Amino acid sequence: MEELTFSVKKGSEPTELEAQYDLVILGAGPAGLTAAIYAARAKLKTLVVEKEVIGGEIASTDMVENYPGFPEGISGAVLAQRMEEQAKKFGAQIYQGVINRVELKRDAKMINLDGKKIKAISVIVATGTSPKLLGAPGEKEFKGKGVSYCATCDGPIFSGKDIAVIGCGSSGLQEGLFILKFVKSISFVEFLPTIQAEKILQDRIKEYENVKFYLNHQVLSINGDKTVQSITVKDRRSGQTKEIPVSGVFVYVGLIPNIDFLKGELKLNNWGYIIADERLQTSIPGVFVAGDVREKDIRQVATAIGDGAVTAASAGEYIERLKR
């Protein structure tokens, strides 16, 4: 069969994307980049596909403090950049584009990227998760006009202003601590009656006087004219409502696995996460899963990186068996 090639992006350098790879990794977060490092270093012909930012969610995280080897912490963007550079160093190619469709049940896996077809012996799904929408009136209307899901991206915009953070899990408090560098005050709103974040984050946030917590409260609406001006919340115990003046709303109410492109190809659990065995093989031979998109209890950078190493080894063994 004639070998097809077409141009793609590899960082800022052009490269050629080929029609056939040993391994295609879908997602360039910590799990996908780690898998790429291990696979490319093992001399597997490796392609990494990412539709958003290289590094995934970690690239928009101000400071990572619980990744081993960095006692003072490290910027999420810097950590992601180093992972990308290391994967490229060993020969992995990185393509930034959209996964239109996949066909994984055949021996030769097919991935349609921006309308172009490539084949792979094995595939690792490491597409991660996306922020869950709050679902309140005004959220969609004011997205980018006061409603945000990324503190690192948009926190400085609200310098000297009052803002709200929706969600008191670890993500909400961690991002809130970053935003406090800029804003006048934060009103934290949590649907549950207690703060769900790690204890160390709770202790840190309590050191600030310009924060207020509305626990056991529901956001009824996000209000404004051309931009956000307030939120309306309801006390779930008393039923009383209150309007809180704010100029920005940062939403951290959970995550949704990025699996739309799979269209029933793989077995999922009730929440849409991909099910795998201890070798991280999915319901289809030769297809593996790593990182936050898989069914597991703990979703952290360290666990994603562990998944990446396991899937690269598992995929390598699978590829070697087929080549023999």
Residues recognised as catalytic: 150, 153-154
Residues 6+ apart with CB under 8 A from 144: none
Burial class of residue 66 (count of CB atoms within 10 Å of its CB; 0-12, 13-18, 19+): exposed
Are the C-beta atoms of 10 and 57 separated by less than 8 Å? Answer: no
Element (H, E) at 294: none
CA separation, residue 212 to residues 166, 176, 190, 288, 308 (Å): 12, 12, 11, 44, 39
Are the C-beta atoms of 24 and 47 separated by less than 8 Å? Answer: yes
Could you count the other beta carbons within 10 Å of the beta carbon of residue 141?
13
The three-state secondary structure class of 82 is helix
Residue 148 pairs in a beta bridge with 250
| DSSP state for residue 256 in the 8-state scheme | E
Q: Can you read off the two tokens belonging to residue 190?
A: 């949590």
Residue 228 pairs in a beta bridge with 224
Q: Can you read off the two tokens belonging to residue 93?
A: 């190619």
Are the C-beta atoms of 129 and 27 separated by less than 8 Å? Answer: no
